[in-house]
A and B are shown apart, each in its own frame.
Chain A
Amino acid sequence: MNRRSRRHPVAAGCGLILVLAGLLTAGAEEPSPYEAVGAPSHPRVPAQWNRYHDFEQATRLLKQLAEVHRGRARLTSVGKSHGGRELWVLTVTNFRSAPVTEKPAFWIDGGIHANEIQSVEVVLYTAWYLLESWSRNPTVRRLLDEQVFHLAPMLSPDSRDAHFYRPNSTHTPRTGPRPRDDDRDGRIDEDGPDDLDGDGHLTQMRVKDDQGRYVPHEDYPDLLVPVKPGRKGQYTLLGQEGFDNDGDGQVNEDGDGWYDPNRNWGWNWQPAYVQGGADRYPFSIPENRAVADFIMQHPEIGGAQSFHNAGGMILRGPGAKNDRYEPADVRVLDELAAKGRQMLPRYKYLEIATELYEVYGGELDWLYQTQGVFALTNEMFPDFNYFGDQTNGQHLGTPEAQHEFNKYLLLGEGLVAWKAVDHPQYGRIEVGGLKKTWVRQPPSFMLEEECHRNMAFTLYHADQLPLVRVRSIEVKPLDGELRQVTAVIANDRLCPTHAAVDVARKITPPDRVSIQAPQGRVLVGWQSSEPYFLKPIEQERRPAELRVASVPGRGAVYVRWLIEGSGPLQVTVRSVKGGAHERSWKPAEKR
């Protein structure tokens, strides 16, 4: 394994861009005479969204946001990574509107697969956008009054750093850096890929070979294609850059890791012989465990988005065919995703198990099945972004489309031209191919749009979390001192206060609807799913605090009490995932 950690030219370039960006923002004090809609054009914390942030830069941005927007942002670290990096969670809400635990909360994470680097940018963008828009955008203000956003931009910070600063491809590293003996030979991470030309990009190896089965593509000569029958080949492909470091006759069979952080969650987990990358046991990866612990300590989280790339998809669980979701909950996810497909043109909406591939121990399933959270994953950056037409359904575009895009849109910057190197086992060969910095990741001019559209969808999703309200209180005098009090507990949002799976498993306690009658005595209490109380459910024990299994989405629960005595009343509803609300009632002044 090549462990050179020097910054390669691309990384150095990023550093330079950062310096320039700093100069530019410093010089951008002059306001634009024309304010474009979309992102705030005069932010208090300057940021640029056509570039990628490394761990340190992202950390600085988060700290700055938390510092500048103190009443609306708090930065906490839920733990440390294997490499000692903080696992940041930025909590964004109006901290003055209500206690954090009494508001519905939405979870957003990025970068669990570290090579999918724009999944971090979209979370950073969301934090920045919400905080910078608060002062000028009433919708954002309402959202932050009503909701809490927990934003965890980097779930695998060590590997993000590795993708930036060490040789990798667009596909790596998906794993974390914890040492694992992949080939079970007693040696750990001893034979990973090697950056033979030292450019920071792990590309392909080829050798000139009259017997080879590959020739250069007619229009894009850097692309090798299979030779047509009857024609003479020119090259043999030798795989990804690397050599047999440990002399076992295999090339690149045991690199850093390997495990898949998104196959390691505590629901329907299966060992590596069933699910590659599962690692040793659920949450054996401490980064995941720290995040799961945080989420378990925040049962008010009712919705979640876990960003990935690529392919342009909105995904829902279940991840495996042996698992199932409650049909009522699937209907909620379907409706959320329908809006998403409109906001993210041409994104597909798929069930992972049956329409993508099977995933055991994925984060989405853990969120839904054990925490009752309506969770979705967006696979950002679709192949149709290249030229508008969906090219092959392989999520990343055809090689032709990639090279065509490189030629006309990237003006050739997207690849490393073939060059000769000396290989310890193969002798003189050539290395070359697409750079690690795109294919899965959007180029600069597409990044900002991806971030904004995906964020907008999560804001819609969050706005559909349950929000309970005591809509009305109606008091009807009966005989003597007896009064009948009827209250409507409404939830105008798409999501119920308890997903069907939550009700079935008692994941969170029931909603509590209580009446305070300081001058009266509550004799009887019951609830009904319709306003006529045709089949009321009576609660014999402690009728003053009714336990309601769930307030449906875009619906209501009707509660009724018989109270002896006069005086004012107050009805309070407290829902773990749906917030809290109260309403008072006073008897009309006599005469």
Chain B
Amino acid sequence: MSSSALGLASRPAVANPLLAGYADYQQLSRQVAELDALDGVTASSLGRTAGGREIHLLTIGTGRAERKPAVLVVGTVHPPHLLGSELAMSLARGLARGLAEDDPRLRRLLAAYTIYVIPRPDPDGSEKCFARPWIEPAGNERPADDDRDGEVGEDPPNDLNGDGWITLMRVQDAAGRHMPHPSDPRVMIEADARQNDRGRYQLYVEGQDDDEDGQFNEDGSGGVSLNRNFSYRYPAFTPAAGPHPVSEVESRALADFAFERTNIAIVLSFSPDDNLMHPWKSDPQGNAGAIKTSVLPDDAPYFDRIAGEYRKLLGATEPPPASQGAGSLASWAYFHYGRWSFSARGWWVPPVAAADPAAGKGRNTDKPMPSAGEASVADDSAAGTAAGSKQANRSKANDAPSGAKSVDKRAADERNLLRWLDREAIDGFVPWRRIDHPGFPGQRVEVGGFKPFVRLNPPAAELPRLAAAHQEFLRHLLEQMPRFELPPPQVTALGAGLFRIKATVLNVGYLPTSTELGSMGKLTGRPQFALELPQEVVRLRGTRYVLLDRLAGRGGKAEQTWLVRVAGQAPAEGRVRVSAPSVGSRQRTLRLMAEPTVGPSKSKAP
């Protein structure tokens, strides 16, 4: 768990002001070590990255971790979304503290379940957030030829104005496609023929054409993104996707860990692939063929209900659209790993009402616009920075003082962001300032725009509130886990040493014993229903154990009948047992005696 020399070397001289209060790798490692010292918490490493950093894993709970059903929490899946690891760590801390303080609800949950926490699965990628120039990193430290020209990293963005941030450049150009927003000239929008607009600017990411190939900043060797490297809808031949699915140390470590832990029932990750504010929908078309591309119909209601609970706990509205999940961890966890997969963005810029001198009070917020088609905005770092080119209309509400005649609704998100920055007094926007740019002789070039990170990570003061909400959500999730119940088996003595044993098992938890996809896809362990008998008892009907199909939630049941013969007079004792790695187990002993009996003992978890 030692912090690497490399981590030390890349310590920035000036800290990223928008990430004040967020842990860098060293601080995270220290926090992990502190938790490791607590009862019920074990820290280990899933592997070492190319940058020499450990992929931390915390295993939390009492008893034997791998024998209990588990939830896997994955923190910062998208490297600049550092909120993810802060929330993951706060979940771990909350659980550990609850154990230490003997919180009875938590103690009960952590005796029954294991929580695995991988706070920062791509530590190399996330560490780039702390090094100048500040730009939202795409992925790890693998040298990546983003533009596939045979050279690596030959044209990264450049901090032309020396302010430490990579923002945008606007270049005055009669052929330009962009123009300032009519009511807020800081925001750039795309010219629209329907509005009789005239574009006056070309927009670029801040930088120069380092390799003189006519393109700007097309290859910053952004590394491979963990969240583009998984096998479900893997986006081959796109930047940051890597040479093939699961090609990276990080993705492989995570997948190998997950596949070896058959006890994992739920994967809770933090990423912009938000399916808690935007629950996945079941689409009959996506399920018509052999390859499933949408949530299976039996699973959809559970995703919906749990997402509803999340929305209640978080109490936030107007989320940005979710990214579409090509190659993402969250979609992999469901479609190729077969587990319940929930992914939370955790926070976003809240809607802020425009100052309204006429009305003097806030107005209701409208419903968010449908998000389809806004696919790549959410976590493409470059596009996220250059979102001026996207006509995001999400929070169209509170756009202008009431009474104003007509407000151009375009770029509502960005204008809302500016209002929020003003309200919170956050320095998150670089005003457009002219620079000399040798790449555009004779043209007016200005650098400016939103600073990276500002949309992904809230001010650190928000963290305790968010942590509490997610803490509550995790407890809620644990309380939804499937649970076996084993009523006393019915034992009928048929005479002459023959006994018929009928046993029933119920799932009394909210969730089914696995997802439909997991059982259809043969990805999840099957519940075993076993009758254990002494050697001298002969089975006439029914095998030592049977494998059950998925049991539905809230009362899904299965029955099994055995016929056995006990030689001699002595009563025999047997045991009926049901178990599944991601559900748990129950067992009951039963006695086979000459007279009909009912299994005496009460159900207990071994």
Q: Which residues of A contact B (CB under 8 A)?
A: 181, 183-186, 246-249, 266-267, 269-274, 280-284, 292, 296, 322, 366, 369-370, 505-509, 541-542
Q: A266-B244, A274-B291 are in contact. Are A280 and B255 (CB under 8 A)?
A: yes
Contact partner, A509, options B150, B245, B528, B543, Cβ 8 Å: B150
Contact partner, A270, options B149, B259, B291, B581, Cβ 8 Å: B291
Contacts of B259 in A (CB 8 A): 280, 284
Contacts of A267 in B (CB 8 A): 236, 244
Contact partner, B231, options A249, A269, A292, A366, Cβ 8 Å: A269
Contact B247 A186 (CB under 8 A): no
Binary A-proximity of B529-556 (CB < 8 A = 1, otherwise 0): 0000000000000011111000000000
Contact B520 A273 (CB under 8 A): yes
A267 to chain B, nearest CB (A): 7
Contacts of B442 in A (CB 8 A): none
Contacts of B111 in A (CB 8 A): none
7 A-B Cβ contacts within 8 A?
Answer: A186-B525, A249-B546, A266-B245, A271-B335, A274-B291, A281-B231, A281-B255
Interface residue B396 (Cβ < 8 Å from any Cβ of A): no
Interface residue B284 (Cβ < 8 Å from any Cβ of A): no
B543 to chain A, nearest CB (A): 4
A-B CB contacts (within 8 Å), total count: 95
A538 to chain B, nearest CB (A): 13
Contacts of A181 in B (CB 8 A): 525
Interface residue B336 (Cβ < 8 Å from any Cβ of A): yes
Contacts of B440 in A (CB 8 A): none
Given A186-B528, A186-B579, A271-B335; 8 other pairs, CB 8 A cutoff = A184-B522, A248-B544, A281-B336, A366-B244, A370-B243, A370-B244, A506-B148, A509-B150
B249 to chain A, nearest CB (A): 12
Total interface residues on B, using CB and 8 Å? 39
Closest-by-CB residue of A relative to B547 is A185
Among B236, B244, B520, B545, the one with the most A-chain Cβ atoms within 10 Å of its Cβ is B244
Find residues 317-342 in chain B having any chain A CB closer than 8 Å to their own CB.
335-336
Interface residue B526 (Cβ < 8 Å from any Cβ of A): yes
Tell me the complex Cα distance, A583–B446, Å: 49
Contact B524 A185 (CB under 8 A): no
Contact B214 A541 (CB under 8 A): yes
Contacts of B528 in A (CB 8 A): 185-186
Tell me the complex Cα distance, A282–B248, Å: 12
Contact A248 B545 (CB under 8 A): yes
Contacts of B545 in A (CB 8 A): 185, 247-248
Contact B243 A296 (CB under 8 A): yes
Contact B255 A273 (CB under 8 A): no
Main secondary structure of the interface of B (DSSP, over half): loop
Tell me the complex Cα distance, A42–B259, Å: 54
Tell me the complex Cα distance, A542–B213, Å: 9
Binary A-proximity of B500-544 (CB < 8 A = 1, otherwise 0): 000000000000000000001111111010000000000000011
Closest-by-CB residue of B relative to A280 is B259
* 8 nearest A-B pairs in the assembled complex, by CB-CB distance: A266-B244, A509-B150, A249-B543, A273-B521, A506-B148, A247-B544, A281-B246, A282-B245
B294 to chain A, nearest CB (A): 15
Contacts of B525 in A (CB 8 A): 181, 184-186
Contact B245 A269 (CB under 8 A): yes
Contacts of A507 in B (CB 8 A): 148
Contact A505 B237 (CB under 8 A): yes
A322 to chain B, nearest CB (A): 8
Q: A271-B523, A370-B236, A505-B237 are in contact. Are A247 and B543 (CB under 8 A)?
A: yes
Q: A247-B544, A248-B546 are in contact. Are A186 and B581 (CB under 8 A)?
A: yes
Tell me the complex Cα distance, A455–B501, Å: 65
Contact A271 B262 (CB under 8 A): no
Tell me the complex Cα distance, A284–B236, Å: 18
Contact A506 B149 (CB under 8 A): yes
Tell me the complex Cα distance, A39–B399, Å: 84
Interface residue B290 (Cβ < 8 Å from any Cβ of A): yes
Tell me the complex Cα distance, A527–B247, Å: 38
Contacts of B462 in A (CB 8 A): none
Interface residue B424 (Cβ < 8 Å from any Cβ of A): no
B153 to chain A, nearest CB (A): 15
Tell me the complex Cα distance, A563–B185, Å: 50
Q: Which residues of B contact A (CB under 8 A)?
A: 148-150, 212-214, 230-231, 234, 236-237, 243-247, 255-256, 259, 262, 290-291, 335-336, 520-526, 528, 543-547, 579, 581
Contact B244 A282 (CB under 8 A): yes
Closest-by-CB residue of A relative to B242 is A266
Contact partner, B547, options A248, A270, A541, Cβ 8 Å: A248
Contacts of B546 in A (CB 8 A): 248-249
Contact B547 A273 (CB under 8 A): no
Contacts of A322 in B (CB 8 A): 291
B75 to chain A, nearest CB (A): 21
Contact B243 A272 (CB under 8 A): no
Q: A266-B245, A272-B522, A509-B149 are in contact. Are A248 and B543 (CB under 8 A)?
A: yes
Contacts of B520 in A (CB 8 A): 273
Contacts of A249 in B (CB 8 A): 543, 546
Tell me the complex Cα distance, A292–B247, Å: 11
B548 to chain A, nearest CB (A): 10
Closest-by-CB residue of A relative to B519 is A184
Tell me the complex Cα distance, A541–B244, Å: 33
Tell me the complex Cα distance, A541–B524, Å: 57
Contacts of A271 in B (CB 8 A): 231, 335-336, 521, 523
Closest-by-CB residue of A relative to B335 is A271
Tell me the complex Cα distance, A271–B521, Å: 8
Closest-by-CB residue of A relative to B528 is A185
Contact A282 B231 (CB under 8 A): yes
A400 to chain B, nearest CB (A): 36
Contact B213 A272 (CB under 8 A): no
Tell me the complex Cα distance, A280–B291, Å: 16
Contacts of B243 in A (CB 8 A): 266, 296, 370
Tell me the complex Cα distance, A273–B523, Å: 9
Contacts of A272 in B (CB 8 A): 521-523
Contacts of B547 in A (CB 8 A): 183-185, 248
Contact partner, B526, options A185, A370, A506, Cβ 8 Å: A185
Closest-by-CB residue of B relative to A183 is B547
Contact A541 B212 (CB under 8 A): yes
B330 to chain A, nearest CB (A): 16
Tell me the complex Cα distance, A66–B438, Å: 57
Contacts of A266 in B (CB 8 A): 243-245, 247
Contacts of B245 in A (CB 8 A): 266, 269, 281-283
Contact partner, B244, options A283, A508, A542, Cβ 8 Å: A283
Contact B262 A186 (CB under 8 A): yes
Closest-by-CB residue of B relative to A292 is B244
Closest-by-CB residue of B relative to A249 is B543
Tell me the complex Cα distance, A280–B259, Å: 8
Contacts of A273 in B (CB 8 A): 520-523
Tell me the complex Cα distance, A497–B222, Å: 29
Closest-by-CB residue of B relative to A250 is B543
Among A185, A272, A281, A292, the one with the most B-chain Cβ atoms within 10 Å of its Cβ is A281
Tell me the complex Cα distance, A366–B245, Å: 12
Contact B336 A274 (CB under 8 A): no
A15 to chain B, nearest CB (A): 39
Contacts of B246 in A (CB 8 A): 281-284
Contacts of A505 in B (CB 8 A): 148, 237
B246 to chain A, nearest CB (A): 4
Contact A184 B524 (CB under 8 A): yes
Tell me the complex Cα distance, A510–B522, Å: 44
Tell me the complex Cα distance, A284–B256, Å: 8
Contacts of A541 in B (CB 8 A): 212-214
A192 to chain B, nearest CB (A): 17
Tell me the complex Cα distance, A60–B428, Å: 67
Tell me the complex Cα distance, A572–B230, Å: 41
Contacts of A269 in B (CB 8 A): 231, 234, 245
Contacts of B213 in A (CB 8 A): 541
Contacts of B581 in A (CB 8 A): 186
A2 to chain B, nearest CB (A): 20
B354 to chain A, nearest CB (A): 46
